[in-house]
Structure formats: C-alpha cells, structure tokens
Amino acid sequence: MSMISVRDLVVEYDGRRVLDGLNLDIEPGQITVLLGGSGSGKSTLLRQILALENPKSGSISIKGTDIMRCSPGDLKKVRRSIGVAFQSAALFNSLSLEDNVALTLREHTALAPTIIDLIVWMKLAVVGLADFGKLHPQELSGGMKKRAAVARALALDPQILVLDEPSAGLDPIVAAELDELILFLKEAFQITALVVTHELPSAFRIADRIAMLFNGKLLAIGTKDEIRANQNPRVRQFLNRVPDNPVHMPAFASYLERYVQSQEAKP
Amino acid sequence: MTQSVKGSPITNVFKIAGRETINQLDYVGSLNIQLWATLRGMRAALPLVGNRHRWKAAVHQMLEIGVDALPMVALLAMCSGFILALQGASELRRFGALHYVIDLVAVAFTRELGPLLTAIAVSGRSGSAFAAEIGTMKVTEEIDALKVMAFEPVEFVLAPKFLAALVAVPCLSIVSNVFGILAGGLFMFFSTHLGLQVYFRAVLTSIHLQDLIAGLIKAVAFATIVAHVGCLEGLRVRGGPEAVGRSTTMAVVRSTFLVIVADAIFTTIFYFVGKT
C-alpha cells in the first residue's frame, strides 16, 4: 500500500486551476522528489498533503486515512506521523533550538523531562547541531536553520518526512550537506521522504523516484534514469534548462538601431 | 477588497455601500467565529484543569499586557484625572460648587475613563503587538508549522492572549481609576488645601458599587475586543512583512474604534438600566 495516495486532485484559487486532476502515489521507504518549475503546483500539492488547504475535488490518503474526510482526531494522529521542514524553516523565534525540537515531545508525549532532553540532544546531533541547542533561530545561519527544522521534524520519529525546498537559497556546499543528511535519514530510519525542489543536482542526488509537475499536472514519474531518458519536450526543456521566452537578440538589435536612427534624425 | 465599479454614479454609491457593508459584516462575523473558537480552546489555558504550558504562556502574556503597561496607564490616568479636575473646577468654581469636582472625577473614572483609557493604552501596546506577532508567525509559516505539528493555533496562540487580556485589562482599569482619582485629589489639595484623607472619604461616598461593576464589565468587553481584533488582524495577514505593518496599524485603528462604539452601547444600556 502506498504511504501517500493522491487521487484526481483539483485545486483552484479564485477560479484559476492550480492542480488539475492530479494522481500520485508515494511509496514507503523511498525518497520521492517533486520536481517542477515555479508555479507548477509543487507547493500547492504539499499544502494539500499536509491538509493545510482544502481542494475543490479529489482525495488524499495518508497511511490509508482519507485526510479530507477523517475526523479532527484522526487528522491529528496522521499529522503526528509526519515530520515537516518548511522552506522558511518556520522555527519558533521565541524558543531556543532545544525548545523548538522539544515542543512536540513535551506536548504530545508523557516522557520525563530528562528523557526529552536526551532525545532532543540526539535529534540535534543527527543534524550536526548538538552544540547549538541554546541558541535562538535568529542566531543561526540559513543552512543551520534548515537543519534545525529537520531536527524538529524528526522529534516524534515520524514515518513520513516532508521537506519543502530544503536546499533553496543555500550555497552548494551546505546544500550538498543537506542532501547527505536526507540520504542518511532514509538509510538510518527507513523513513519515507517527500522532497519538493527545483534544484536538479539535489533532486538527482537524493531521489529514488522523481515526479515532475507542469501546469498542475503530473508530467512524468519514475526513477532517476527513467526521468533522464524521458523524451517529453517539457521534461527535456526542464532538464536541459532551456528558457521559455529567450531574448531574441536580432530583433532587439534591430529595434535599438531604429531607435538610434530616430534620435539622430531629430533636429 | 477594492474593485473598480462601472455604472451610473447612483448605482456606484449603492454598490460601494453594499460591498463595504458586506465586508464589515464579514469582519464582525470572523471576530465572532474566532471568539467562540477561543472560548472553546480557553480551557487549555486555565490553571489546574488546563495545559501547564498554555497557562505559563498566559501568565507571561499577563505580565506583558498588565505589569509592563502599569507605568503608562498610571501616567495616562493621572494626566487625564488632573485635566478633568482642572477643567471641571474652572466651570464649577463660578457656581461655588468646587466640591463637585470630587464627584466628577470619581464617577467619571470608575464608570467611564478608567476602562476607556486602559483599553486605548492596551490597544496601542498589546493589540498591535498581538497583530505583529501573529502576522509574523503567519508570514514565516509558523502558524502552518503549528498545524502540521498537530497543535491547534487557536488553543496555542490565541487562548493564552485572550485569557491574559481578560485578567490584565480589568486590573489595569482599577489601577487607572486609582491614579485618575488620586490626580483629582492632588489638584484639590493644591488648589483648595483639601486633605487627601477627606478627599478620599468624599470619593467613597460619591461612587457606588454598581459604578465599579459597570466599569469592570466594560473593561472585560474592551479586553475581548482588543485581544480579538489584534489576533484577527494578525491571522488575516497575506503576503510579506509590509502586510504585517499594515495589520498592526489596522489592529489599533479598528480596536480603538470598536472600543468606543462598545463604550457608547454599554453606557446607553447602563443609563437606562440605572434609571429603572
């Protein structure tokens, strides 16, 4: 059974269709990368999977629970099995790093404070931030914030890890470190991961399967090799980084020439 | 939401009036929905029966809304009390009724000025702070993070703030009454050499228990308005940091306006109830 199953999902904002009858299955124990350009519907799909928005039609099941139609209690149970690291990290600025990671443990478990402290230290150690637990989010660099968000997402030992643009805005070295961390988490915890990105090197480094979105539709899905071999023109365009509206240099040059001539012709 | 309107000028007036009415009704409806949701989530913020983390957050908010605002509210009340006594005295002196300044200041503060000045001060300090804090949380996806971490944002963010406002504003209102009346006493002492002991005895005879209760009822209502408008403005933030700035301004403007409207309604009700 798929860990996450999306069926005929339609999402509209003010009559504009953002997701158009999307079907997608996320298999357990795999890293699935959602790839696509800006405005392709990746983040919208993610918000739907996290039940942060309601679709126009369609359904999403997580571990067999239809999150659109289940009770609030069941939705909470499902949410506790998902760890999410947002694009902006979304750490609570009023809390230290330790408290950010400890929050769900303190609120959703009956563990003793010493055990919670130990778990927090372990989660921070996994992402390489064990020595920075006392710091507040505003004292961290961009890469450290992203790793801290992953540590917080791991706090309740989730079965599913959702990462929204984990390497966006990071330098290549830090981005590569995060990629290694995601691979390590999959190996160490057998976690199912859904990663949203438009960074090609990162996608091809970590993915078991890649799902490519275009204009709210699933354009292609498969292993890295299958996606590389895909002959769909839009897939080729994305992989080969070909712009949609290239600047037409000859037309621009002739316009410039005419403008200069018209200026010279003025008395 | 502003939309361009085409048609004759008279039609346009009706269209704009209709749209604005719907917008305002939508706003008041949202406030009511949020109020009921917060009341349902309030149990979590209560001591002993609730969640101790929410109670701790509520106490923290009480300190911020109440204790931190004490100097400002006290100074505001003293200045207002002094001005009221001064203006009242300048007129009442002409009729040889200077001693009525005591009644004027005492009754005006317990029934009206104490809660009103407090609400305006809290709106400027804490209402705007609520909007900025929640608006920033919205922009930085912290509210979404709370949801996906299986927390209820209403219970987690709104309930402690509402509970804190419900406790702090009436307390501040009493402080405001005391300092406003004290300022009247100082005025009387310097202008007529009336002893403060005599002044306070006269104050106690001029105010009644129902005046105090009416003032406290108003304070509770104003606390509800200020807290909820601040939180709602924060939750309605869409976009980036500039939207947070707009929401803080709107929180102060709307809550001050609604507090004054509510004050007028309560004063009218108490006036007619007092008559019967």
- Which tens digits make up the pLDDT trace of A64-87? 999 988 998 999 999 999 999 998
* Count of CB atoms situated within 10 Å of the CB of B124: 17
Query: Mutate which of A62, A71, A76 to test chain B, going by most B C-beta atoms within 10 A?
Result: A76
Closest CA to B92 of B14, B187, B164: B187
Structure tokens at A160: 């599913």
Averaged pLDDT, B244-252: 94
Averaged pLDDT, B7-25: 89
Averaged pLDDT, A24-47: 90
Averaged pLDDT, B152-173: 94
Structure tokens at B67: 């204790």
The C-alpha atoms of residue B26 and residue B181 are separated, in whole angstroms, by: 41
| pLDDT confidence tier of residue B128, bands split at 50, 70 and 90 | very high
pLDDT of residue A245: 64
pLDDT of residue B126: 95
ipTM over 0.90 threshold: no
**Range with the poorest average pLDDT among A109-113, A136-140, B102-106, B272-276:** B272-276
Q: Which residues pair with A86 in a beta bridge?
A: A89
Q: Is the pLDDT of residue B229 over 90?
A: yes
The C-alpha atoms of residue A120 and residue A112 are separated, in whole angstroms, by: 12
Rounded to the nearest 5 degrees, what angle is found at the Cα of B31, between the Cα atoms of B25 and B36? 125
**Closest Cα in chain B to A78:** B150
| pLDDT confidence tier of residue B2, bands split at 50, 70 and 90 | very low
pLDDT of residue A256: 83
Q: Select the residue of B53, B142, B145 nearest A107 (Cβ to Cβ).
A: B53
**Backbone dihedral angles phi then psi of residue A266, each to the nearest 5 degrees:** -70, 140
């992402």: which residue's tokens? A127
Q: Identify whether the C-beta of residue B98 lies closer than 8 Å to the C-beta of residue B189.
A: no
Q: Which residues pair with B65 in a beta bridge?
A: none
| DSSP code at position A41 | S
* Count of CB atoms situated within 10 Å of the CB of A57: 12
- Residue B139: partners with Cβ closer than 8 Å, 6 or more residues away: B237, B239, B240, B241, B243, B244
Q: Is the pLDDT of residue A1 over 80?
A: no
| pLDDT confidence tier of residue B1, bands split at 50, 70 and 90 | very low
Q: What is the 3-state secondary structure (H, E, C) of A73-142?
A: HHHHHHHHCEEEEECCECCCCCCCHHHHHHHHHHHHCCCCHHHHHHHHHHHHHHCCCHHHCCCCHHHCCH
Chain B CB contacts of A47 below 8 Å: 144
Q: Do A79 and B53 touch (CB under 8 A)?
A: no
pLDDT of residue B230: 96
Q: Which residues pair with A123 in a beta bridge?
A: none
- Residue A51: partners with Cβ closer than 8 Å, 6 or more residues away: A60, A67, A68, A75, A78, A79, B147
pLDDT digits over B197-213, tens only?
999 999 999 999 999 99
Q: Do A86 and B145 touch (CB under 8 A)?
A: yes
Q: Is A13 on the interface with B (CB under 8 A)?
A: no
> Is the entire prediction scored with pTM above 0.80?
yes
Q: How confident is the prediction for chain A on average, in pLDDT? A: 89
Select A1-81+201-267's CATH number: 3.30.430.20, 3.30.830.10, 3.40.50.300, 3.40.50.970.
3.40.50.300
pLDDT digits over A169-179, tens only?
778 887 888 88
Q: What is the dihedral of CA B19, B22, B24, B30, to 10 degrees?
A: -140
pLDDT of residue A169: 74
pLDDT digits over B213-225, tens only?
999 999 999 999 9
**Domain range summary for chain B, segments of one domain joined by +:** 14-275
Chain A CB contacts of B145 below 8 Å: 84, 86, 90, 92
pLDDT of residue A248: 62
Q: Is A86 on the interface with B (CB under 8 A)?
A: yes
Chain A CB contacts of B150 below 8 Å: 76, 79-80, 104, 108
